[in-house]
Chain A
Amino acid sequence: MRRPKKRTARGRTVLDGTQGPRRIKLTINGEDLDLAFKSPRTLLEVLRDDLNLTGTKQGCDGGECGACTVLIEDEPRLACLTLAATLHGKKVLTIEGLAKDGNLHPLQRAFLAKGAVQCGYCTPGVILSAKALLDRNPTPTEEEVKKALAGNLCRCTGYKKIIDAVLEAGREFESLIR
Chain B
Amino acid sequence: MADLRVVGRSHPRVDGLEKVTGAARFSPDVKFPRMIVGKILRSPHPHAKILHIDASRALRLPGIKAVVTAEDTPKAKVNSAASTYYFEERGAKNVAPTPMVMDQTVFCGDVARFVGDEVAAVAAVDEETALEALSLIKVDYELLPPVFDPLKAMEPGTPLVHEAERNIAYKFVIRRGDIEKGFAEAHVIHEDTYTTQLQHQAYLGPTACVADADGSGRVMIWTELQSPFRARRLLSDMLGLPASKVRIFQTHVGGAFGGKHFKRVQPICALLALKARRPVRLCLTREEEFMSSPPRHATHIRLKMGASRDGTLVAKETYIVLNSGAYGEVGPIILDTMTKRVDSLYRFTNIKTDSFLVYTNTVPGGAFRGFGNPPMDFALESHMDMLAEKLGMDPVELRLKNARRVGEVSAHGWEVKSCALTECIEKAAEAIRWKEKRAKQKLAGGKPRGVGIGCMIHVSGCRYYPGFYGSNAVVSVGDHGQVYLFSGESELGQGCKTVMAQIVAEELGICLEDVVVPDLDTDFSPHSLGAYADRTTHIGGNATRLAAIDAREQLFEFAAEMLEADPGDLVAQDRKIFPKGSPQRAVSFLEVAKRSWFHTGGKEIVGRGSWDPPSVPPDPETQYGNVSSAYTFGAQIAEVEVDPKTGKVTILNFAAAHDVGKAINPMAVEGQLEGALVQGAGYGLMEDMVGIDGRIYNPNFLNYRLPTILDISPMKIMMVESNDPVGPYGAKGVAEPALVATAPALANAIYHAVGVRITNLPVTPQKILAALKDKERREKRRSE
Is there contact, CB below 8 Å, between A99 and B131?
no
Within 8 A of B (CB), among A146-171: 146-147, 149-150, 152-163
Residue of B nearest to A114 (CB): B667
Whether B205 is near chain A, meaning CB under 8 Å from some CB there, is yes
Contact A118 B204 (CB under 8 A): no
Contact, CB under 8 Å: A59 / B131: no
Do A108 and B21 form a contact, CB below 8 Å, given A1-B287, A3-B135, A146-B710?
yes
B364 CB to closest chain A CB (Å) equals 17
- Does A73 count as interface, using CB distance less than 8 angstroms? no
Complex Cα distance A118/B495, Å?
A: 7
A155 touching B706 by the CB < 8 A rule?
yes
Question: How far, in whole Å, are A161 and B204 apart by their CA atoms in the complex?
Answer: 17
B715 to chain A, nearest CB (A): 6
Instruction: Bits for B648-676, please: 1 = Cβ < 8 Å to A, else 0.
Output: 00000000000000000001101100111
Contact stretch, chosen from A19-27, A82-90, A121-129: A121-129
Cα separation A169 to B711 with both chains bound (whole Å): 23
Query: Are the CB atoms of A156 and B206 closer together than 8 Å?
Result: no
In the complex, chain A residues whose CB is within 8 Å of the CB of B31:
52, 54
- B681-725 vs A, CB cutoff 8 Å, 1 = contact: the mask equals 000000000000000000011100010111010010000000000
Given A108-B20, A112-B20, A158-B677: A59 and B709 interface contact (C-beta under 8 Å): no
B709 x A56 contact (CB < 8 A) = no
The reply to whether the CB of B413 lies closer than 8 angstroms to some CB of chain A is no
Contacts of B668 in A (CB 8 A): 115
Interface centre among B203, B204, B206, B712 (most CB of A within 10 A): B204
Q: Indicate if B291 sits at the interface (CB-CB under 8 A).
A: yes
Given A3-B135, A62-B700, A158-B715: A121 touches B203 (CB 8 Å cut-off): yes
Interface string of A98-131 (1 = CB under 8 A from B): 1100001000100111110111111110010000
The answer to whether A94 and B700 touch (CB under 8 A), given A57-B204, A58-B206, A122-B204, is no
**Restricting to B269-317, which residues have a CB under 8 Å from any CB of A?**
285-288, 291
- B252 touches A (CB below 8 Å): yes
* A57 adjacent to B205 (CB under 8 Å): yes
Q: Which of B134-182 contact A (CB under 8 A)?
A: 134-135
Q: Which of A54, A64, A158 contacts B701 (CB 8 A)?
A: A64
| Interface residue stretch chosen among B9-17, B429-437, B508-516 | B9-17
Distance, CA A55 to CA B712, complexed state (A):
27
Residue of A nearest to B129 (CB): A4
Contact B671 A155 (CB under 8 A): no
Determine the chain B residues whose CB is within 8 A of the CB of A174 once the complex forms: none
B252 proximity list for chain A (CB < 8 A): 119-120
Any A CB within 8 A of the CB of B492: yes
Number of interface residues of A (CB under 8 A): 59
**Residue pair A2, B285 in contact (C-beta under 8 Å):** yes
Q: Would you give the shortest CB distance from B437 to chain A, in whole angstroms?
A: 22
Are A153 and B701 within 8 A (Cβ)?
yes
Q: Which A-chain residue is minimally distant from B39 (CB atoms)? A: A2
Q: A65 CA to B712 CA in the complex, in Å?
A: 17
Please tell me if the beta carbons of A127 and B709 are within 8 angstroms of each other in the complex. Answer: no
Residues of A within 8 A of B670 (CB): 115, 161
Give the residue among A3, A61, A120, A150 with the most B Cβ atoms within 10 A. A120
A157 close to B205 (CB less than 8 A): no
Give the shortest distance, in Å, between A178 (CB) and chain B (any CB): 25
Among residues of A, the one whose C-beta sits closest to the C-beta of B494 is A118
Residues of B within 8 A of A145 (CB): 709
Q: Indicate whether A117 sits within 8 Å of B287 (C-beta atoms), given known contacts A104-B20, A127-B20.
A: no
Closest to A108 in B: B20
Identify which of B22-30, B233-241, B466-474 touches chain A: B22-30
A96 at interface by CB-CB < 8 Å: yes
Tell yes or no: B132 within 8 A of A by CB.
Answer: yes
Chain A residue at minimal CB-CB distance from B257: A155
Give the CA-CA distance A60 to B674 in the complex, in Å.
24
For B26, give its contact among A57, A60, A115 (CB under 8 Å).
A57
A123 in contact with B20 given A65-B701, A153-B701 (CB within 8 Å) = yes
Please, how many angstroms separate the alpha-carbon atoms of A144 and B678 in the complex? 20
A43 at the interface (CB under 8 A from B): no
Which of A5, A95, A153 touches B204 (beta carbons < 8 Å)? A153
Nearest chain B residue, comparing its CB with the CB of A45 = B127
In the complex the two chains form, what is the Cα distance from A150 to B708 in whole Å? 6
Q: Mark B399-411, 1 if CB is under 8 A from A, else 0.
A: 0000000000000
Q: Which residues of A contact B15 (CB under 8 A)?
A: 120
Given the known A-B contacts A123-B19, A163-B709, are A157 and B675 also in contact in the complex, defined by CB atoms under 8 Å? yes
In the complex, the answer to whether A160 meets B674 with C-beta atoms within 8 Å is yes
Does any Cβ of A come within 8 Å of B255's Cβ? yes
Asked if B675 and A115 make an inter-chain contact with CB atoms under 8 angstroms apart, the answer reads no
A55-B23 Cα distance, complex, nearest whole Å: 6
In the A-B complex, list the 3 residue pairs whose CB atoms are closest, starting with the nearest. Answer: A55-B22, A119-B493, A120-B19
A and B contact pairs by CB, cutoff 8 A, 16 listed:
A1-B291, A56-B22, A57-B204, A59-B204, A59-B205, A104-B20, A111-B20, A115-B13, A119-B203, A119-B204, A121-B203, A121-B255, A155-B257, A157-B674, A158-B675, A161-B670
